Amino acid sequence: MGGWSGRGGNGDTERNWGGGKVKRMGEEERRWGRGGEREEDPIVRWWGPMGWGRGRGSYGLRSWRWGTVAVAVEGISWLNMAEREIGSPGSSMHGVTGKEQSFAFSAATDQTVPIDSTAQFALPVDSEHKATVFKIYSFANPHMRAFHLSWISFFTCFVSTFAAAPLVPIIRDNLNLTKRDIGNAGIASVSGSIFSRLVMGAACDLLGPRYGCAFLIMLSAPTVFCMSFVSSAGGYVAVRFMIGFSLATFVSCQFWMSTMFNGKIIGLVNGTAAGWGNMGGGATQLLMPLLYEGIRRAGAAPFTAWRIAFFVPGWMHVIMGLLVLGLGQDLPDGNLGTLQKKGDVPKDKFSKVLWYAITNYRTWIFVLLYGMSLGVELTTDNVIAEYFFDRFDLNLHTAGTIAATFGMANIVSRPAGGLMSDMAARRFGMRGRLWNLWILQTLGGVFCICLGRANTLPLAVTSMILFSIGAQAACGATFGIIPFISRRSLGVISGLTGAGGNFGSGLTQLLFFTSSKYSTATGLTLMGIMIVACTMPVALVHFPQWGSMFLPPSERWSEEYYYGKEWNKEEKERGLHQGSLKFAENSRSERGRRVVAVTTTPDSMPASA
């Protein structure tokens, strides 16, 4: 009989979708590779004539397709990242929901997501009441509402952080700025969030993501309104620095998503939220010149009109803050303050988590790499409108429109990068992901060089669009690999990578767009060369169990051994590494089509004779 047998609380829940066991796509590929062992394939059941709409199937189908993306792009939330299964070290909200579920560790590879059938939510939820499907067009409380609130808040902060960029031609005359001042302000705008993102993680743990987001967005609203007071270069730099703090909503956004959405789809959800938020950097290039034009035509002097235009992002901050407070909730079951249930989840030691993050050389390579994808994206958000205004003699409105297409490409290119990473992994495993990242990011660099060298407008616009697709897809592809670097320290590594992105932005602005030694065009060319050069270290990233760009995997290493290495003997004896072992098993999909029947004891490398 189909239906759900039992729900959370004991270890033995299995979802029975009309009789078949539902597997992850990666699993499926593996099984098909094995000769003869053709188990009943639930996917065929789903997509077959009888499969559609079976039971609660219709949305399950979508979650399957996107589940493959989720396999790769799993989770970008900050400190909370380690939790994938409830009860594992570092679980969300310190076990606030109180619904613990223990999974007996087994060599079986099924990835059942037990659905809580008694829950009264608009979307199907798991035993933690996190949604297991992602319905973009829904605003249902609490899951999808939280999604829309958090990505729009993040979008708003991007709008206000880069709001000055398209107006620089006016601001530089009003405040008598030099190129150095403009460059310093650009650097300041991305530097502030390096620190605020670190603080935000702690704030989300203490206050919940709803208050973390609302606090940041409403306390940075005054900094946006402060633009009306600015009358010198120093003031301009200071205000842009303070507005830049608001980019930490990235952390609250991702954190909130991981309290609301199940680990199987968290990758897609987080990637979409991040990509759509980043779009704000593009939207602002369109919005601010439009506002400026309108206000100027209404009769204001140019040097006053741009100040008035800044009120709009400020109001957006306040409105989004109020909406988040009024409509949002921290957890599917309610708000943190009213739901103080404490579970006895063993929480991991931060010092250990930090140690395993910083001693893994891959972390630092990705810090550099993300600086060359997200970093250059932020830098370009800051300089591109002014570049088109000056180099091609366009008016502010047109320059802004062109610059906007750069940031707006994020709506598809970032998720697409993650998707391409998944597709490459299905065939070639982790090696495919690494090659995919290298190709995308290097192409981005090449088109950046073309953008700097382009002398005509059509060529420049084309190069810019191709550059944006390359860089943003590389961002998505980066977070398709990061979840596999470490299981224990994923949160810290994600945070460090994010900070590396901002740092890369500050560095490229400092090197290429602040001094008058070379023109902006030359700066773009040099930045492109730097991207190509600094993307080469991808070749150094080697996963012993999966290989790297040029080296094959070593047969002696298993996923269990790699992830088990992060725990010492004592911790293993206490069973703290169970989550890592489960993850290791699931990560076997990163072997690609190379199917290996593996039964390894978790604690040791399989001895080779």
Partner 1 sequence: MAIQGSFVASILFSYLVAACYGATFSSLQNTLVVTASPHAGQVLKAGEDNITVTWSLNTTFPAGTDSDYKTVKVKLCYAPISQQDRAWRKTVDELKKDKTCLHKIVDKPYSPSTNTFTWTVQKDVPTAIYFIRAYVHNSADKEVAFGQTTDSHKATNLFEVQAISGRHVSLDIASVCFSAFSVVALFGFFFLEKRKAKASQKS
Residues 6+ apart with CB under 8 A from 525: 448, 449, 452, 453
Considering only residues 576-605, where is the footprint of partner 1 by CB under 8 A?
A: none
CB of 373 to partner 1, least distance (A): 24
b/e sequence 19-57, b meaning 16+ C-beta within 10 Å:
ebbbbbbbbbbbeeeeeeeeeeebbebbeeeebeebebb
Residues 6+ apart with CB under 8 A from 456: none
Q: Which is nearer to partner 1, 119 or 323 (CB)?
A: 323
Residues 6+ apart with CB under 8 A from 9: 99, 101, 127
The vertex-273 CA angle with 419 and 191, nearest 5°, equals: 105
Considering only residues 7-66, where is the footprint of partner 1 by CB under 8 A?
A: none
Q: Check if the beta carbon of residue 345 is closer than 8 Å to that of residue 87.
A: yes
Number of residues that bind partner 1 (CB under 8 A): 48
Q: Which is nearer to partner 1, 175 or 538 (CB)?
A: 175
CB of 174 to partner 1, least distance (A): 5
CB of 236 to partner 1, least distance (A): 12
Write a three-state SS string for 123-177.
CCEECCCCECCCCCCCCCCCHHHHHHHHHHHHHHHHHHHCCCHHHHHHHHHHCCC
CB of 15 to partner 1, least distance (A): 35
Q: What is the enclosing helix (H) or strand (E) of 71?
A: helix 57-72
User: Binder to partner 1 among 10, 351, 455, 608 (CB under 8 A)?
Assistant: 455
Write a three-state SS string for 496-549.
HHHHHHHHHHHHHHHHHCCCCCCCHHHHHHHHHHHHHHHHHHHHHCCECCCECC
Q: Does 215 bind partner 1 (CB under 8 A)?
A: yes
User: Binder to partner 1 among 379, 520, 525, 586 (CB under 8 A)?
Assistant: 520
503: tokens are: 């740092």
Stretch that binds partner 1, among 86-94, 149-157, 396-404, 449-457 (CB under 8 A): 449-457
242: tokens are: 């303070």
Residue 4 pairs in a beta bridge with 15
Q: Check if the beta carbon of residue 356 is closer than 8 Å to that of residue 482.
A: no
Stretch that binds partner 1, among 95-103, 423-431, 446-454, 572-580 (CB under 8 A): 446-454
Considering only residues 287-316, where is the footprint of partner 1 by CB under 8 A?
A: 301-304, 306-308, 311, 314-315
Considering only residues 193-212, where is the footprint of partner 1 by CB under 8 A?
A: 211
User: Binder to partner 1 among 58, 178, 359, 601 (CB under 8 A)?
Assistant: 178
Q: Which is nearer to partner 1, 265 or 460 (CB)?
A: 460
User: Binder to partner 1 among 360, 398, 519, 554 (CB under 8 A)?
Assistant: 519
Q: Check if the beta carbon of residue 278 is closer than 8 Å to that of residue 410.
A: yes
Stretch that binds partner 1, among 5-13, 95-103, 133-141, 448-456 (CB under 8 A): 448-456
Q: Which of 475, 539, 423, 563 is nearest to 71 (CA)?
A: 423
CB of 179 to partner 1, least distance (A): 5
Q: Does 320 bind partner 1 (CB under 8 A)?
A: no
Q: Does 226 bind partner 1 (CB under 8 A)?
A: yes
CB of 369 to partner 1, least distance (A): 27
User: Binder to partner 1 among 29, 41, 293, 390 (CB under 8 A)?
Assistant: 390
CB of 198 to partner 1, least distance (A): 22
Residues 6+ apart with CB under 8 A from 108: none
User: Binder to partner 1 among 6, 48, 222, 552 (CB under 8 A)?
Assistant: 222
Amino acid letter for position 326: G
User: Binder to partner 1 among 231, 359, 395, 568 (CB under 8 A)?
Assistant: 231
Stretch that binds partner 1, among 220-228, 258-266, 548-556, 596-604 (CB under 8 A): 220-228
| Contacting residues toward partner 1, per CB under 8 A | 169, 172-174, 176, 178-180, 211, 214-215, 218-219, 221-222, 225-226, 228-229, 231, 301-304, 306-308, 311, 314-315, 317-318, 321-322, 325, 335, 337-338, 390, 450, 453-456, 459, 516, 519-520
